[in-house]
Structure 1
């Protein structure tokens, strides 16, 4: 149902909004900026929250709510009682917040966004747009979407900073407003530190992998297997010279967003916005790491936590 209201023709405006907000943040910075929270997280939640039609809740922070729910769903543990207690409060609060927005906007749809389009479909009697279905979809968008760019975009910048020639190429693309080339630089940087290095999956029945080959392996039911995206994108049997930074690689060398039935719903939004968030920063002269620990990418588990850069 959501494919009726999340439209490809929205992508140019989303890219422009991401770049414009990033430019305003970078322009206001005194030659120094923390990339994860101050830049990417602010841009992502502001632009996408506005697009979805889900504003910040009164007395809450959508950035915190979405990120903590993402952490619990994708990397959390049921044994982490502190996180569980937090999400037990956040989840119903977000659900109530979105339902309140649905009720408020029904009488006054206002601007064109995902929520207003959903309500128009509901009014027209289209299947898949009950209040429950709209609320569930918007919750999924908030939890599964905006928390991810603040993880992977700083990681991509870190990889560029490690490679002066690649950084210079990305900066030249940014300054030339060559967004297609800039995307290829960011996509290639992501290959060296992808958002999801691998996805664990539970084996439901006994299975033989690569049967009849020397790689044949029996996997018993109850096992956990890892679909290792990071190593797959560096497999020399499939990827030419995998340790070389090459922004002109074929699309088949990348599996950042999955394929077919498992392809990320937000692939096109990501491809329209991720590089545009970095573009204003990459345009700055003498872009470099801040001195000391702040100038290195720090992670909290799988999450990028901080990376500070300076520029002239």
Structure 2
């Protein structure tokens, strides 16, 4: 039987990335293990893969050497499309300060109640994606983040197309069969215009309320008070951009994460029973590790992409050291890194008691997920409430419908 590397090396150079991408998504763990052992830095025409923990950490923590250049055509002047700029640090700091980290217990209660209401109202049969994995974070955006007078279907649409274009429609994705790259760009542009119109009107309404003394306490209102204070360089245009970022980041990534965690937990009947027992009998925090460990096995993002700005040696000091040249698109294959035995003891074991500090569920380095603390309670609480239902039938699992993320998942349960 030929190895993965033998198959790749035997293929024409122009075909290797398509084959390797198939392995990354269809047979990830054995493929990763072979690369980590034999060729941890694997260069192809379109991308170079880095598969060891040390190299992934280096790539993601050095923004001046490995930059987010490929975000810029998708996200424009948004701070997350910048590396180590004054605007990036200022706006990230502002956004961190206005999110409700101190209110995580209340947010968890909100997610718990909203998930239960969604399942109760469905009366035993539900499309998990629309009504729960997308529906619950959309409700959080509306009720907690302050997106009043909004249509949930439109919020889902805007988040979906922005995420599709930014993360799943890069130049190196051209090898994906049937991917309509221009169509995705047009849908993202349409969604961006409609989202900007809605947020612009929201900001105008809320600005008037704030100036009239409204004490409404949500992220949109906090951003406006900060902008009006003139205490920091943060104008209304910046408010609009960053309010949009709250929506884009909250919905689709949560949905994908919940679906992936559930997919892994339901793939093993014994593991599913163990997780359900904890969901039913333990404290909420006792259950969280099951979701984060499931996402180590089945992450929403198996890699993060960067562009190399200067010739850089990876796997330095080892026989497999390789120099990555300036201009190369590098994929830090963090799914592989989370199974690197140098960083994760007994990596093949499902261990919900792990310390998850070194996992990449929320990224790493300068571009770590802005809302990681909120997501850190929302993701496991949605999964926990689903598993607390009885007579669960997960059917055939999530249906991606040709997309990079789940589009439907029909679940039945005792009403």
TM-score by length of 1: 0.91
SS in 2 for 1:208: strand
- Give the distance between the partners of 2:368 and 2:309, measured in 1 at CA: 22
| Other-structure match for 1:16 | 109
Structure 1 residue 105 corresponds to structure 2 residue 206: yes
| Other-structure match for 2:154 | 61
- Give the distance between the partners of 1:250 and 1:91, measured in 2 at CA: 38
| Other-structure match for 1:80 | 181
In the superposition, relative to structure 1, how do residues 260 and 287 fare at CA in structure 2: closer, same or farther (>3 Å)? Answer: same
Is contact 2:256–2:406 with CA below 8 Å preserved after alignment?
Answer: yes
- Give the distance between the partners of 2:152 and 2:410, measured in 1 at CA: 29
In the superposition, relative to structure 1, how do residues 212 and 3 fare at CA in structure 2: closer, same or farther (>3 Å)? Answer: closer
**How far 1:57 moved relative to its partner?**
4.1
Residue by residue, what CA displacement relative to the aligned partner does 1:279-300 show, whole Å, maximum 9, x if unpaired? 222111232322xxxx222324
Structure 1 residue 51 corresponds to structure 2 residue 144: yes
**How far 1:263 moved relative to its partner?**
2.1
In the superposition, relative to structure 1, how do residues 238 and 19 fare at CA in structure 2: closer, same or farther (>3 Å)? Answer: same
Name whichever of 257-266 and 240-249 sits farther off.
Answer: 257-266
**How far 1:259 moved relative to its partner?**
3.2
Aligned CA RMSD, in angstroms, stands at 2.1
**How far 1:40 moved relative to its partner?**
1.0
| Other-structure match for 2:118 | 25
| Other-structure match for 2:350 | 245
Residue by residue, what CA displacement relative to the aligned partner does 1:129-169 show, whole Å, maximum 9, x if unpaired? 32111111111121222210111101111111112222222
TM-score by length of 2: 0.69
Name whichever of 158-167 and 46-55 sits farther off.
Answer: 46-55
| Other-structure match for 1:311 | 413
| Other-structure match for 1:302 | 404
**How far 1:10 moved relative to its partner?**
2.3
| Other-structure match for 2:364 | 259
| Counterpart among 195, 220, 234 of residue 129 in structure 1 | 234
In the superposition, relative to structure 1, how do residues 4 and 254 fare at CA in structure 2: closer, same or farther (>3 Å)? Answer: closer
| Other-structure match for 1:163 | 268
**How far 1:197 moved relative to its partner?**
0.2
- Give the distance between the partners of 1:128 and 1:304, measured in 2 at CA: 39
SS in 2 for 1:256: coil
- Give the distance between the partners of 2:157 and 2:200, measured in 1 at CA: 19
SS in 1 for 2:162: helix
- Give the distance between the partners of 1:283 and 1:139, measured in 2 at CA: 33
Residue by residue, what CA displacement relative to the aligned partner does 1:158-192 show, whole Å, maximum 9, x if unpaired? 11111222222222222235111111111111111
Structure 2: runs of 5 or more not aligned: 1-93, 172-179
Structure 1: runs of 5 or more not aligned: none
- Give the distance between the partners of 1:59 and 1:164, measured in 2 at CA: 34
- Give the distance between the partners of 1:104 and 1:75, measured in 2 at CA: 34
SS in 2 for 1:235: coil
- Give the distance between the partners of 1:57 and 1:183, measured in 2 at CA: 31
- Give the distance between the partners of 1:142 and 1:180, measured in 2 at CA: 26
Q: How many residues align?
A: 308
